[in-house]
Chains A and B, each alone.
Chain A
Amino acid sequence: MNEIIVALAIGVLTASGTWLLLRPRTFQVIIGLSLLSYAVNLFIVAMGRLKVDAAPIVVAGAVPDPAAFSDPLPQALVLTAIVIGFAMTALLLVVLLAARGLTGTDHVDGQKDEAR
């Protein structure tokens, strides 16, 4: 039944992230991308199914049963995704700051269009 909670969480995070992604202010976009990456990371981990108390750490020497562990592959993927997500956030932030300095506005198009 925990699946429902995780699915709901993914849904809400995605919707929040997508909404912010489409907003006109740079800071909204960066927060939106953060939320969206939480959602995507949770989604990828969820693709390996949810297991409690089954961390993928085998016992040295014994022959492990793959079914007894949570799926390590999505976890490895997500681990790199988290780190790359951090790099992306850092780069985006600095680009936004530079754009703000050059254009004088924090609108994503670099134009002071207050109507949007």
Chain B
Amino acid sequence: MPDTVLLITLLVLPFAGSAVAALLPVNARNAEAWLAGAIALVALLVVCACFPSISAGTVLQARHDWLPQFGLEFRLRMDGFAWLFAFLVTGIGLLVVLYARYYMSPQDPVPRFFSFLLAFMGSMLGVVLSGSLIQLVFFWELTSLFSFLLIGYWHHNAGAREGARMALIITSAGGLCLLVGVLLIGRIVGTYDLDLVLAAGDVIHASPLYLPALILVVLGALTKSAQFPFHFWLPYAMAAPTPVSAYLHSAAMVKLGVFLLARLWPALSGTDAWIWIVGMAGLITFVYGAYVAIFQHDLKGLLAYSTISHLGLITILLGLNSPLAAVAAIFHMVNHATFKASLFMGAGIIDHETGTRDIRRLSGLVRFMPISATLSIVAAASMAGVPLLNGFLSKEMFFAEALDVAGPLPVVDRALPYIAIVAGMFSVAYSLRFIHGAFFGPDPQGLPRTPHEPPRWMRFPIELLVFACIAVGVFPAHTIGPFLDVAVRSVLGAATPEYSLAVWHGFNQPLAMSFFALAGGAVLYLLLQKRLARGIEAVPLMPGLDARSLFDRALVLISWRGARSLARVLGTSRLQPQLRWVVVIAIVAASWPVYRQGLDFAVLPAGSPDFALAMLWAVGMACALGAVWQAKFHRLAALILTGGAGLATCLTFVWFSAPDLALTQLLVEIVTTVLILLGLRWLPKRTPAQWTWAGLLRALPRRSLDLALAIGAGAGLATVAYAVMTRPPAHTISDYFVTRAYPEGGGTNVVNVILVDFRGFDTMGEITVLGVVAIAVYALLRRFRPARESVPAPAQQRAQEENAFRDDMMTPLFIMRLMFPVIVVLALYLLVRGHNLPGGGFVAGLTMAVALILQYMAGGVRWAEARLNLRPVRLIGIGLLSACATGAGAWFAAHPFLTSHSAHVTLPLLGELHVPSAFVFDIGVFVLVVGATALVLIALSHQSIRAHRLPPA
């Protein structure tokens, strides 16, 4: 149990701190620093508290079910290697927070900085402590995200935005590869549990999926650790504030790639493919990074390329398939983090106190800031591999490994020691450049600020780190020894080799190589003096192969040109081709299963066709075809004919025992017709154009295609409908609804019981849509601008008003007014009986709306509104709320939302009444339908009396 508490605390604490930090005021620099420092310190103490059990060889675990049906659990796990990384992340994190307190200027929005920094720390701990691969990838991507936010912290600076974007694209693309790789591993092993995956190395090697999984995982690692050919994002990420560089680009994020390679070392390494991919990438990066670093003029740029090179060194060590090399790799991860973090902080101090990081402008700083200079010189010496410093130890281990490598290609094996010496010389040269360029030589001229020592506590983190470099360099076995030991054992397990952490191994080949590299590096630096002094930006002997411009070109190609040409080739802004595709796809989708499964027709049921039905549909089909024929030039005729087809449909519903449908269809038919009639006057007058043979010929292919599609769709749907109708019905859930309608729903009209009770939630959604549509219509019409020529009253209306035709309408008007109470009573009757007989909220609501609209038609808008105070929007609200309230009422009886309940009420005169709560729900439906329908119709009819401003000519 304490394990769980420790691990959860470690993970949750930074994220909680991040949330708090984000809420502090902008100028609370000290409060932020105290908060972040305290969080980092507590996390560090928690990590330290874990050490006793870790050193005893136990693995701390915390697990929690996450998606048990997929075999996924949230799992935290800390072994020696994870402990070492957690220590680095929290320890260096603490120092960086302290440093950042002094580095960040009071004008910077610090809450954002510390909030992101803490969240980043949490994500790092999440990766390090993950016990499940999926979870690891999740936190891995979180680190990419927060590093993006941190690199782009000064977002007013174009370089920072650019660098952040590049880092995000490269590392998160790598993260996606990693995710796929991890899924493949999960498929091979059958689990994402890290312990089981690490134990299944043989299974993974034997799988045909091994190579793809390896490549994808390695892609993730190489992008994150800025390895060739993905190295170029790291120098651009130097636009970040220096504390971020010191943290992310020395100790934390870029180490994740090599962390992952080491973590999965037992599972993935040991094959030739591993040596080829990992070893080669590392080797190229190692040499290339060191070479390019010599010619950097920016201190941070130099350090960035040096970081790339050192990560390459670690990658080679991991790629050699040798346990001893893996030990060296883990050792170098720690050493590099120590000296590189202090060097970044040193560079930041120089930048902070002089105002520039350009080596060409800096010199002689040792006289202005002796203590800081000494610290940076020691750290740089460690980077160069000078004896008695920690960098020397791991580099010598590397030289020893380079001597007896046994790879698949003997030529490379033999060349490796020489390559190692050359790269070692490069790293000595750039370290010398850092030291000599910044700290020695004449006094600097024309610096933005006069350099001086930084504040006491800004220097403290560097002092501590440099002290660690020396302590480890002199007494390795007594300082880092036990910690390295647990880390190595947890990675290598039984394969842990014998290794020695002594400073002095006698005169041997590695030592000779070290001295060769030191001396050669010094000579190289002297030889390059003349060229470096000229201050040229380019790197000599490097062909114009610039990964960055390739990257930019690829981005433009994919995201801009590719998208544009795809849109040009496949896209259209014209509606007709789009609809044509919809129809084509619908036909194909419907035909596909028929094509695959075949379609067999059962025997036609006995009985002759009803003559009346046949006649009905003869008329109905004629109406439909007539509507097609008239829709272009005679809209009113088309509308009436459509109504005819609608009536035929409605009568068919009556015929085949669907009374509720027939009622609804009839009323919707009426309302729709009125609605479209109201809209007709705003459409342009259309007269048949003079047709020509040329026009006809031009339209012919398009029309033939459309005709074929229409006939195809019609014939297809008719065939399928016929095939289904001639088969005996299957048993569906309908049986359930029929048998339970009365006992459980309390109503005999099964359709209505389904709507308001069994599937009440669907109906709820549906009336919401109805309300939304009505309000959308209302909103659209509020700003309605009719076309210029339809603004004046139409000719018919003018004729009617001029002549005294109004009297001709007297009889219908009188009847319409007289009908109002009758229709209202009918509506209420339909509502009340709906649960047991055809009717219900929808039908009743539509009837009520018809009653209202009739009054508008009879008396005109002004007459009706003087007498009827209708608030349709309010009705919509009331309807929706009462439906919701009925649903929510079930909660009080501890039932789920919309569970219905029947109450028996005894009323005088009427006797005992059976009132299900679904009836109240139906009343809500009724009110909403009245409101929505009335709103749509009234909003449209108002347009005719509104004074329309003509649009500006």
Contacts and interface: CB of A to CB of B under 8 A. Distances in A.
A24 to B, nearest CB: 6
19 contacts: A5-B609, A8-B718, A11-B719, A16-B710, A21-B579, A22-B580, A42-B652, A55-B658, A56-B749, A57-B836, A59-B748, A69-B750, A70-B657, A79-B664, A82-B664, A83-B929, A86-B933, A90-B675, A109-B576
B169 interface: no
B780 interface: yes
Interface stretch (B21-29, B66-74, B734-742): B734-742
Contact of B645 (A5, A13, A56, A80): A13
The 9 A-B pairs with the shortest beta carbon distances in the complex, nearest first, are: A15-B714, A11-B718, A7-B722, A19-B710, A1-B609, A70-B657, A66-B735, A72-B750, A87-B773
A85 B733 CA distance: 25
B559 interface: no
B576 A116 contact: yes
A66 B777 CA distance: 42
Contacts of B732: 71, 73
Given A39-B717, A71-B732, A75-B660, A25 B613 contact: no
Interface in B807-854: 836-838, 842
Interface stretch (B450-458, B783-791, B879-887): B783-791
Q: How large, as a class, is the contact surface on chain A?
A: 35 or more
A93 B652 contact: no
A72 B734 contact: yes
A87 B27 CA distance: 54
B576 A94 contact: no
Given A16-B710, A42-B652, A51-B657, A79 B780 contact: no
Given A42-B649, A75-B658, A108 B755 contact: no
Interface in A48-78: 48-61, 63-64, 66, 69-73, 75-76, 78
B725 A66 contact: no
A100 B684 contact: yes
Interface string B593-634: 000000000001101111001100100110011011001100
Contacts of A2: 607, 609-610, 613, 656
B575 interface: yes
Given A45-B653, A98-B780, A10 B717 contact: yes
Interface of B: prevailing SS? helix
Given A58-B748, A94-B777, A18 B709 contact: yes
Contact of B734 (A39, A66, A95, A116): A66
Interface string B703-726: 000110111011101110110111
Contacts, number: 324
B722 A3 contact: yes
B496 interface: no
Contacts of B741: 58, 64, 72
A86 B717 contact: no
Contact of B642 (A3, A34, A115): A34
Among A26, A70, A88, A106, the one with the most B-chain Cβ atoms within 10 Å of its Cβ is A70
Contacts of B762: 80
A35 B669 CA distance: 12
Given A87-B774, A108-B576, 15 more contacts: A1-B608, A8-B718, A11-B717, A11-B721, A12-B625, A16-B710, A22-B710, A50-B725, A55-B659, A55-B838, A79-B755, A80-B755, A91-B777, A94-B781, A102-B785
A56 B122 CA distance: 62
Interface of A: 1-16, 18-28, 30-32, 34-35, 38-39, 41-43, 45-61, 63-64, 66, 69-73, 75-76, 78-80, 82-91, 93-98, 100-102, 104-106, 108-109, 114-116
Interface string B516-537: 0000000000000000000000
Given A5-B609, A31-B627, A31-B638, A115 B695 contact: yes
Interface stretch (B175-183, B499-507, B763-771): B763-771
B668 A83 contact: yes
A58 B511 CA distance: 98
A83 B770 contact: yes
Interface of B: 573-576, 579-580, 583, 604-605, 607-610, 613-614, 617, 620-621, 624-625, 627-628, 631-632, 635, 638-639, 642, 645-646, 648-649, 652-653, 655-661, 664-665, 668, 671-672, 675-676, 679, 682-684, 686, 689, 695, 698, 706-707, 709-711, 713-715, 717-719, 721-722, 724-726, 729, 732-735, 737-739, 741-742, 748-751, 754-755, 759, 762-763, 766, 769-770, 773-774, 776-777, 780-781, 784-788, 836-838, 842, 929, 932-933, 936, 940
Among A2, A51, A105, A116, the one with the most B-chain Cβ atoms within 10 Å of its Cβ is A2
A11 B723 CA distance: 13
A53 B785 contact: no
Among A21, A32, A76, the one with the most B-chain Cβ atoms within 10 Å of its Cβ is A76
A57 B749 contact: yes
A6 B627 contact: no
A84 B737 contact: no
B648 A9 contact: yes
A75 B754 CA distance: 10
Nearest to B715: A11
A9 B719 CA distance: 11
A52 B631 CA distance: 35
A88 B773 contact: yes
Contact of A16 (B628, B770, B838): B628
A19 B626 CA distance: 13
A116 B781 CA distance: 28
Contact of B675 (A5, A35, A93, A102): A93
Nearest to A85: B668
A50 B727 CA distance: 11
A76 B751 contact: yes
A10 B716 CA distance: 10
B754 A72 contact: yes
A45 to B, nearest CB: 6
A110 B868 CA distance: 38
Contacts of A31: 627, 631, 638-639, 642
A54 B675 CA distance: 34
Nearest to B620: A9
Nearest to B680: A27
Contacts of A20: 627-628, 631
B871 to A, nearest CB: 19
Among B671, B729, B739, B774, the one with the most A-chain Cβ atoms within 10 Å of its Cβ is B729
B314 to A, nearest CB: 61
B750 A101 contact: no
Contacts of A89: 672, 675-676
Given A9-B652, A56-B750, A94-B940, A106 B683 contact: yes
Contacts of A32: 631
A22 B718 contact: no
Contact of B737 (A61, A72, A94, A116): A72
Contacts of B609: 1-2, 4-5
A100 B679 CA distance: 11
A95 B780 contact: yes
Contacts of B726: 3
Contact of A66 (B604, B686, B738): B738
A12 B660 CA distance: 24
A93 B625 CA distance: 22
Contacts of A100: 682-684, 786-787
Given A11-B715, A64-B738, A51 B656 contact: yes
A100 B432 CA distance: 75
A86 B657 CA distance: 22
B239 to A, nearest CB: 46
B684 A52 contact: no
A106 B679 CA distance: 13
Among A34, A45, A64, A72, the one with the most B-chain Cβ atoms within 10 Å of its Cβ is A72
B729 A57 contact: no
Contact of B932 (A21, A87, A93): A87
A26 B624 CA distance: 17
Nearest to A71: B734
